[in-house]
Structure 1
Amino acid sequence: MGTIALAGTLDTKGPEYAYVKQILEQLGNHVLTINTGVYQPYFQPDIGADQVLATIGSTVSAVQQADRGQATTLLADGFAKLLPELYRQKRFDGVLCFGGSGGTSVLTPGMRELPIGVPKLMVSTVASGDTSVYVGTSDIIMMPSIVDVSGLNKLSKVIFDNAAAAISGLVNTKFDQEVDTKPLIGASMFGVTTPAVDHARELLQDKGYETLVFHATGTGGRTLEHLVKNDYFVGVLDLTTTEMADELVGGVLSAGPQRLEAAVAAGLPEVVCPGALDMVNFGPFETVPKQFSNRKLFKHNPTVTLMRTTVSENQELGRRMAAKLNQAIAPVTVMIPTKGFSKIDALGQPFYGPDEDLAFTNSLKQTLTNKLIEVRELPNNIDDPAFSSACVTELLRLIAVRTKA
């Protein structure tokens, strides 16, 4: 049977952790207990808070004397450094944690540092709300605790029993799977660029590559960047960079200011396109900020409203993309479809805007200074098969150049 890391504050929630430890052992698991509490623990853990904090050069006494915010940060930083190191040492196969908002904030940063696929379950009082701040770009499973996780009662025992059974099942259930050795390509997609990415994926598959596609919803872009940093890909087809428009204008699908930086920093073969930069994303029509009431808006569906980017916004997007690409340490190609950046930025469609698109292109070329960056303009809409074919051909060329180097 597998080993499960059981981590949390064994001083204030010791009885609960002792109960869960017993259940896990009854299910046949080995348990590695890690204490992130800084007072006398309920039972002796395998790894104490002093070891957690030593990873960042801090001590239990320092945390005891700090205010709550600083103490939480120190414990989270220490746990985030220790947990992946323990996994690299093969000390556990999966991790189970539980807590309130404070405990969740301390424990999930470490869980996020574990590789994708390692079972990680967080039982939390905040699991029924917006969990993006806790899950980030990882595959943490958030399980609502229903009641406060402080104390054992008829209902909390049911939740803890289910959590123990769930992590035990995740750790100990193995499937016979063929090992897929195909090299991976990371690609970005949106509804209005789906035909392009689907076609590119088929072409790459024919050439022996597997494509992992990330929906450009903010989380998707951050996940793509995260996996690039962790060496998952041999190349990136960043066909849909629309999250940069949301970051600039204040839309709801920003991937943050680091978008488009990971592959550049890693020197990965990369093709970049201005996919869906013709739009900024908001929620239902009535939620669009009032300052945009006179802008060109399009109801994509009942929960998504799109806003056409302007000439000045596209000029700034061109400058921002160029500034990021200027940091490249290996060749990158920017492919620009001159007949529209999305399905609805085509002749006769609601966001067709050649002036806005040209503003992006001119600004990009004027700001680029890195001779490793090549810009190609093709007389297609982004969803034309000819354009996606050209993007794939160029990406494969860049991969071949790197392979020979």
Structure 2
Amino acid sequence: MSVVIVGTLDTKSEEIGFARDVIEGQGVDVHVVDVGVMGDPEFEPDTSAAEVAAAAGTDLETLREDAERGEAIETMGEGAATIVGELHDEGVLDGVLGLGGSGNTSIATAAMRALPYGVPKVMVSTVASGDVEPYVETRDIAMLYSVADVEGLNQLTRRIISNAALATVGMVDNEPDVETEDKPTVGITMFGVTTPGVQAAREHLEEMGYETIVFHATGTGGRAMENLIEQGVIDAVLDVTTTEWADELVGGVLNAGPERLDAAAETGTPQIVSVGALDMVNFGPEDSVPEEFQDRNLHVHNPQVTLMRTTPEECAELGEIIAEKLNAATGPTALALPLDGVSMLSVEGEDFYDPEADEALFKALRENVGDDVELIEVEADINDERFARTIVETLDEYVSAG
């Protein structure tokens, strides 16, 4: 077993050396990758900073002389990603540990994101108590707040670095006995307001012999599913909840980017796409909603989440966007419309009930979707058992025919 430590030995040699000693004390090999740019290490790493720079297509002296700090960090991140990827492929990386401030966090997590899901990844960081999305993105990286700066060893940093080192050892030394079966895997998107329908669909699929992976459509969830489709982990897609596109269009906080809905189309993965939670745009606490939207139909979901109803005009544009995405599909594709409501909140009697807006969405989809996309319309809301069974049976037909 071997743990790779990624760190800037020009500034963190003492702390990295301590982490190395803790891990080796557990009988686990350590491979240190130096990503420091400005100075020389206090001990000899297994992979030098010069080798990391070369892996990024440059040399260390050039970075020292010519690069701005941000450019140097980005370059060393690229090189570190290449190095750890090669170490993993060679079978000499069972887990990776990083520790440092924002610069080393950026470099080390870039390397971690290059590794497959399931490989242990632990980052001790001074920025771990803030917004870590830029560092974690869609990967399974464990972030541990360092509390104090990673600068010198003391009663606090010794304990925290030891905890991180031992946690990494625990992960690589106790590989979980994860049951794997030769079943087709279906990726499903879900939101709180589409949960009953997704749960019903998941249960039907599992009864039919599928494995399911459910993604919370919070931006990173959608991007994670797209990544796994590209990697071939997901064999079919039940994209019930496409709400991230509402945030992308209108400016909400849970957007998944303009590539959302591209992966299945490009890979030919069988997919059923619906319109779950396109009745809403997500913001944070109520006082965080932009002033331009203060007069809109708002629903306080909880103290941290405020929802805004999409307008007929926005819904029409969303329909055009989604139709265009589906028209680009190279594999079996269906568009499923729940005509009685696209979420818990848009059914009759609820806060976001707006037949005009829903019809604008449906009309735009009907008018713009191509002939190669199967159109399924169900007189039920998205959480109705009938809708769940319909889309599951259609997806099963696509997979069975493939």
Normalising by the smaller structure, the TM-score range is over 0.9
The 5 A counterparts of 1:255-294 are 255-294=256-295
1:14 corresponds to 2:10: no
| In 2: Cα distance, 1:175 partner to 1:321 partner | 39
Structure 1 runs (4+) deviating above 6 angstroms are none
| In 2: Cα distance, 1:177 partner to 1:228 partner | 21
| In 1: Cα distance, 2:225 partner to 2:179 partner | 25
| In 2: Cα distance, 1:243 partner to 1:174 partner | 34
| In 1: Cα distance, 2:268 partner to 2:31 partner | 39
Deviation at 1:300, TM superposition (A): 2.2
Q: Is the 8 A contact 1:242 1:275 kept in 2?
A: yes
Deviation at 1:140, TM superposition (A): 0.6
Quote the RMSD (CA, aligned, Å): 1.5
- 2:150 corresponding residue in structure 1: 149
Deviation at 1:30, TM superposition (A): 0.5
Q: Is the 8 A contact 1:9 1:103 kept in 2?
A: yes
Q: Is the 8 A contact 1:340 1:353 kept in 2?
A: no
- 1:62 corresponding residue in structure 2: 62
The 5 A counterparts of 1:1-400 are 2-38=1-37, 39-65=39-65, 66-369=67-370, 371-400=371-400
Deviation at 1:339, TM superposition (A): 1.2
Q: Is the 8 A contact 2:84 2:93 kept in 1?
A: no
| In 1: Cα distance, 2:350 partner to 2:24 partner | 62
Q: Is the 8 A contact 2:315 2:360 kept in 1?
A: yes
Identity of aligned residues (%): 47
C-alpha offsets along residues 331-388 of structure 1, whole Å, 9 cap, x if unaligned?
Answer: 210001111111121122221222211211222233334x432222221111111111
Name the SS for the 2:307 alignment partner: strand
C-alpha offsets along residues 292-331 of structure 1, whole Å, 9 cap, x if unaligned?
Answer: 1221122223332221111110111011112222221112
Which letter maps to 1:210? Answer: E
| In 1: Cα distance, 2:53 partner to 2:251 partner | 38
Q: Is the 8 A contact 1:329 1:372 kept in 2?
A: no
Q: Is the 8 A contact 2:95 2:172 kept in 1?
A: yes
Q: Is the 8 A contact 1:5 1:96 kept in 2?
A: yes
| In 1: Cα distance, 2:175 partner to 2:192 partner | 35
- The range that moved more, 372-381 or 391-400, is 372-381
- The range that moved more, 25-34 or 39-48, is 39-48
Which letter maps to 1:44? Answer: E
Name the SS for the 2:56 alignment partner: coil
| In 2: Cα distance, 1:239 partner to 1:13 partner | 47
Name the SS for the 2:10 alignment partner: coil
C-alpha offsets along residues 3-53 of structure 1, whole Å, 9 cap, x if unaligned?
Answer: 100111112211221222112111111011111113322111111122222
Scaled by the length of structure 1, the TM-score of the pair is 0.95
| In 1: Cα distance, 2:47 partner to 2:341 partner | 57
| In 2: Cα distance, 1:274 partner to 1:217 partner | 15
Name the SS for the 2:47 alignment partner: coil
Name the SS for the 2:292 alignment partner: helix
- The range that moved more, 389-398 or 302-311, is 302-311
C-alpha offsets along residues 137-156 of structure 1, whole Å, 9 cap, x if unaligned?
Answer: 11111111111112222321
Identify if the C-alpha distance between structure 1 residues 177 and 302 changes in structure 2 by more than 3 Å, giving closer, same or farther.
closer
| In 2: Cα distance, 1:137 partner to 1:19 partner | 30
Q: Is the 8 A contact 2:281 2:310 kept in 1?
A: yes
Name the SS for the 2:148 alignment partner: coil
Which letter maps to 1:387? Answer: F
Name the SS for the 1:187 alignment partner: strand
| In 2: Cα distance, 1:322 partner to 1:85 partner | 40
- Give the number of equivalent residue pairs: 400
Which letter maps to 2:64? Answer: Q
Name the SS for the 1:377 alignment partner: strand
Name the SS for the 2:357 alignment partner: helix
Which letter maps to 2:372? Answer: L
Q: Is the 8 A contact 1:111 1:120 kept in 2?
A: yes
Name the SS for the 1:275 alignment partner: coil
Q: Is the 8 A contact 2:215 2:225 kept in 1?
A: yes
Deviation at 1:177, TM superposition (A): 4.5
Deviation at 1:60, TM superposition (A): 0.9
Which letter maps to 1:193? Answer: T
**Structure 1 runs not aligned, ≥5 long:** none
| In 1: Cα distance, 2:374 partner to 2:184 partner | 25
- The range that moved more, 285-294 or 391-400, is 285-294
Name the SS for the 2:246 alignment partner: helix
